[in-house]
């Protein structure tokens, strides 16, 4: 479902869990004019290239999380929520090849316990409701509001984004749920009934034996999953061609956070997210929503279409050659759809035709 453990030497795995079909590039309008007042809140004496450490109040005290703004657009400001749980913002770096030239501002953000942010090393802090309040504090600190605030959550970040929107959608201009189903139990069924049977019987048998023994640190576990599952459903490139930002991000995975929320298995959830299901609440979302999936994803593409149907103003984007990380293995399709959605909502469209 989510992005998980890494391998020594930089090759990693991801949990939940090729060029695209067309090479047309999105339209490239001039970047939006930025009024001087837009920078009025930046009063730091020493400039840091858009980096801002934001204090976060929690029941266990105050900690700081890392953010970095790329580009300047007062009307389209896209905050990124990484997957894992426990990965970092770094695997989103591919966006730098697409969004700046379209005049779209985006904001990297390492959640508490991830990457450049503080890590309290306290499993009681790994809580979905607490992370929702963390995102709200980040929003306030960055002065994001209903006139400019777009939220993109990928994998575990999609759970967090949906949960945030269900509580705070009045602050949002648009929501992107990328490669994440809105029901963990439904994901578990899809993994068992659709994904697992695609493995060769002898491979699946050995994986199940390792899981039954709870021998998740056995190197053989990853030896089986990497060539047989990850390159099919996580990122559809040969392992030695996985992009450097992906390997760098996953090599920093916070395993405590990951196992606490997701559990140790790559086929199913056993952590705090075990029963999470917001499918019935999707009609409450009135903000424009883009639901992204991949044909070869660890997430059910039909479920991702259903998400777009159930919200009040939804658009579905299913990347035909993509998997869980469609922004790499079906990149033109993903980026073209994301850009078109952001600009369409900016023009006032509720349901954007892709």
Active-site annotation, residues = 155, 297, 324
What is the Cα–Cα distance from 83 to 182, expressed in whole angstroms? 14
Q: How many CB atoms lie within 10 A of CB 203?
A: 15
Q: How far is CA 158 from CA 16, 38, 182, 321, in A?
A: 12, 29, 8, 20
Q: How far is CA 59 from CA 67, 118, 127, 182, in A?
A: 22, 15, 12, 28
What is the Cα–Cα distance from 275 to 336, expressed in whole angstroms? 34
Structure tokens at 303: 């479920």
What is the Cα–Cα distance from 298 to 90, expressed in whole angstroms? 21
Asked if 153 contacts 160 with a C-beta cutoff of 8 angstroms, the reply is yes
Residues making up the chain, counted from first to last: 354
What is the Cα–Cα distance from 273 to 282, expressed in whole angstroms? 18
Q: What is the DSSP letter of 114?
A: S
What is the Cα–Cα distance from 134 to 71, expressed in whole angstroms? 23
Strand ranges (DSSP E) for 93-148? 105-110
Q: Element (H or E) spanning 275, and its range? A: none
Structure tokens at 203: 């491979």
CA 46: distance to chain centroid? 31
């Amino acid at each position: 479902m989510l992005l998980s453990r890494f391998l020594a030497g930089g090759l990693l795995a991801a949990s939940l869990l090729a060029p695209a079909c067309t090479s047309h590039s999105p339209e490239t309008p001039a970047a939006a004019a930025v009024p001087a007042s837009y920078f009025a809140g930046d009063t730091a004496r020493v400039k840091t290239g858009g980096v801002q450490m934001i204090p976060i109040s929690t029941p266990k005290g105050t900690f700081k999380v890392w953010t970095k703004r790329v580009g300047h657009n007062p009307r389209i400001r896209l905050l990124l929520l990484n997957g894992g749980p426990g990965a970092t913002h770094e695997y989103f770096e591919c966006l730098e090849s697409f969004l700046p030239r379209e005049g779209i501002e985006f904001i990297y953000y390492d959640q508490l316990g991830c990457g450049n942010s503080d890590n309290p090393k306290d499993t009681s802090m790994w809580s979905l409701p607490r992370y929702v309040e963390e995102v709200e504090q980040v929003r306030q600190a960055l002065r994001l509001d209903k006139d400019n605030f777009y939220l993109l959550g990928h994998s575990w970040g999609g759970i967090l984004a949906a949960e945030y929107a269900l509580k705070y959608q009045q602050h949002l201009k648009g929501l992107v749920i990328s490669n994440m189903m809105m029901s963990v139990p439904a994901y578990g069924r899809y993994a068992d009934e659709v994904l697992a049977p695609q493995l060769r019987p002898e491979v699946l048998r050995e994986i199940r034996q390792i899981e039954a023994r709870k021998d998740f640190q056995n190197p053989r576990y990853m030896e089986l999953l990497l060539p047989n599952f990850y390159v099919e459903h996580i990122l559809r490139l040969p392992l030695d061609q996985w992009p450097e930002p992906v390997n760098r991000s996953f090599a920093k995975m916070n395993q405590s956070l990951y196992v606490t929320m997701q559990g140790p298995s790559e086929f199913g959830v056993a952590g705090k997210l075990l029963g999470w299901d917001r499918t019935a609440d999707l009609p409450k979302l009135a903000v424009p929503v883009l639901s992204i999936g991949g044909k070869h994803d660890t997430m059910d593409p039909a479920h991702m279409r259903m998400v777009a149907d159930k919200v009040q103003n939804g658009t579905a984007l299913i990347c035909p050659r993509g998997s869980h990380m469609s922004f790499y293995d079906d990149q033109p399709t993903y980026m073209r759809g994301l850009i078109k959605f952001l600009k369409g909502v900016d023009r006032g469209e509720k349901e954007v035709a892709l």
